[in-house]
Every structure is written in C-alpha cells, then in structure tokens.
Structure 1
Amino acid sequence: MDIDPARRNKKPRLLLETEREKLDEFVDSIHYSARYNDDKFEYRHVQLPKNMLKKIPADYFDSAKGTLKLLWEEEWRALGITQSLGWEHYEVHEPEPHILLFKRPLNYQPPLQQ
C-alpha cells in the first residue's frame, strides 16, 4: 500500500492566505473517524464538508479522477485537517470524494526533537 507519487503534487503546494480564508468556515465541520487498524497500520478517515471541495484550489485535484490528489501533510493541514503526527494521506474514497483516508504505522512514535 505504497503511495503513488504520480497522484501527488511534485512538492507541497501551499495555500495562499486568500485561499485559506475561503476554507476557514468549514474547519469546524470536518469529521474525524475513530481509529481502526490491521496488523501493520492504524487508519482513520476524514470527512470534509461537501461544499468545502468547491473552495479548494483546482491544482489540489486529480483531473483524471475528479478527486483530490494525495495530499502532502503541509497541504492537508493547510486545509484545516488537524491530527497528531505521523498520519499520511494514502487514498481518496472515489465514490465519495470528500472522504480522505489516512494511515500511519501501528504504535507510531514521533521522532525525538533535539
């Protein structure tokens, strides 16, 4: 379940302040699932308000699929998604493109800061 680099921007595309302001009204309506896991990863899904997708810049979307690209951490955090460290956006639920799927290794420990 590796991340396909072709489904991401080559490098994080940060939001302009004006773009971020358009998303602020939706942040409190973002829904976070409970965590669930298999033997390697823990998972969660994040449900964005459907109307929020209309305010996200076009270059965050995969034009071939009509869904969001796989987002770098800087990108999903800029959208207003808040999670602890270590989460990686690995898939978009195509039938419901406002649902983003995240994973991180089981028992993830953030690196120690020095």
Structure 2
Amino acid sequence: MAHQDKDYQDLVDRIHYSDRYSDDFYEYRHVLLPRQMLKLVPKEYFQPDTNVMRLLSEDEWRGIGITQSLGWEHYEVHAPEPHVLLFRREKDYQSKYGNAR
C-alpha cells in the first residue's frame, strides 16, 4: 500500500514513536498513529466482528508508513485505543543480528 498523497504523507510525518523500554526478554515501544490515519488503513486490517485492528505483518505496518529498524513485531492490539500499536523485539536484537537475520 503506497500513498503518494500529500495529506497522507503529512499523517505519516505525525506518527509518534514512544521511547523504548524493556524486560528481561524484549524491548518494547508503542507507535501512535494520528487518529485520522485509521480511516485510510485498509479495511482488511481490521477484524470484521469487532472492527479492532488485527496484528499486522511487517510488510503491512511498513506499508502504512511506520518506519522502524529490523526485528520489531506488532504483538498486541489495545481495543480502547485502536490508533496505538504495540511492538516488541528480542532484547539486544541489533547486537545479536545486525541489520539482517
């Protein structure tokens, strides 16, 4: 899904990436999409029975404009705030794998 539209690019530029935090196994971050962006995300990215965003593959979340280094996975949805996507990756991923896995 590629968007060349200036308005869409403005929304992509407003995506907020939280600081990273970690536990013993993973590092985490939240990605906050501008709420208006949800209207432009493909309908098949939402669960039909609940209209909550499903877990997205890396190609899907990159396709809507989210940019992160390698190793991140969309691991959870938070139904009350559908514009907040929760990501995690293996702790020390880059020192273990560099830029390729």
Fold shared, TM-score > 0.5 on shorter chain: yes
RMSD, matched Cα = 1.6
Task: Give the total of aligned pairs.
Answer: 96
After the TM superposition, which segments of 4 or more aligned residues of structure 1 sit over 2 Å from their partners? 20-25, 109-113
Report the secondary structure of 1:62's partner residue: coil
- 2:20 corresponds to 1:35: yes
Consecutive unaligned residues in structure 2, runs of 5 or more: none
Are residue 67 (structure 1) and residue 56 (structure 2) matched? Answer: no
Instruction: Please name the residue that 1:52 is paired with.
Output: 37
Residues 108, 48 of structure 1: CA spacing in aligned structure 2 closer, same or farther, 3 A cutoff?
A: same
- CA deviations 1:24-43 (Å, max 9, x no partner) are 23111100000011111000
* Paired residue type of 1:64: D
CA shift for structure 1 position 112? 6.4
CA distance in 2, matches of 1:28, 1:112: 24
What is aligned with 1:21? 4
Identical residues among aligned pairs (%): 55
Q: Which runs of 5+ in 1 are unaligned?
A: 1-14
User: Alignment partner of 2:4: what SS?
Assistant: helix
